[in-house]
Amino acid sequence: MKKLLLLLLFIPLVSFGQIKKTDSSKYILVGEAKVFGQTQVSLYKDTGNPDYYFFSYINRKYKILTDADSFGFKDIDGAFDYLYDSILEGFKNKSKTVSFELEEGTLIVKYGGGSIQFYFTNKAGIDSFTGYMTKKAFSALFGKKYNKADFKK
């Protein structure tokens, strides 16, 4: 009986030690790119030194399978503003693609018909991509107010 009692006291201690709840409220939503009311991409910020930004999206690589994916970067030397400004320049210069090397892999921004799409390939060679985003949705994603003049030379 003593062994059973000790066992019943020991089991809760073991189970609490294995699983820890994370504080998801520490992530700040910067913005969302929505097209026809459907969120294509969400951008979050994890405040720290340096801040860490990450994009969360449904991988559009598969037609039937719903696969969530994400990638991110540290905001070192103004990387957040650099990324936004570089993608904006691609709109202005009517680029076809712009590529960025991130710590986790390669981000390729593809332009077409006034919209963009993110293609991400991680270090293991696994690729994924977002849905299309309009200029307005792109601005909203980065938490910026859409201004049509920003996208013209």
> Would you place residue 20 in the very low, low, confident or very high pLDDT band (cuts 50, 70, 90)?
low
Give the pLDDT score at 60: 82
> Would you place residue 4 in the very low, low, confident or very high pLDDT band (cuts 50, 70, 90)?
very low
In 3D space, the residue among 137, 98, 105 whose CA is nearest the CA of residue 120 turns out to be: 105
Per the model's pLDDT, the better-predicted residue between 86 and 113 turns out to be 86
Specify whether the CB–CB gap between 80 and 53 falls below 8 A: yes
Coil, helix or strand for 26? helix
Provide the percentage of residues in the chain whose pLDDT is more than 90.
Answer: 64
Give the pLDDT score at 22: 54
Mean pLDDT, residues 41-55: 94
